[in-house]
Amino acid sequence: MFGVIAMDNVLKEKVKLMIDEIPEDRITEVIDFIEFIKQKEEKEENEATDEILNDKNLMASLKRGLEDIEKGNIYSFEDVFKNV
């Protein structure tokens, strides 16, 4: 995990250095591109959320699970695996 964070920081620093080298009149293009990437990411996240929320079977299963929790119909991890 640490290696991923370190690489992430290296890449971000590289981007910052590259931005510093871009002529001032081209910075708006960089901003536009970054905004495009952010919007694309948000759209993909929303699509994934919608896919989950529109899955009737999954939502029914989650509802049953939450109802079981509220009713106390649960088992501990130890209970489930004590005879395994």
pLDDT 10s digits, 8-35 = 888 989 999 999 999 999 999 999 999 9
The whole-model pTM stands at: 0.53
Residue spans of the domains in the chain: they are: 2-81
At 66, list the tokens. 């939450």
Residue 3 vs residue 68, higher pLDDT: 68
Residue 34: its pLDDT value, please?
Answer: 93
Measure Cα distances from 11 to 1, 6, 14, 63, 73 in Å: 16, 9, 5, 42, 48
At 43, list the tokens. 């759209």
Determine contact, residues 51/43, Cβ cutoff 8 Å: no
Residue 33 backbone dihedrals phi, psi, to 5 degrees? -65, -40
Least confident of 2-6, 9-13, 52-56: 2-6
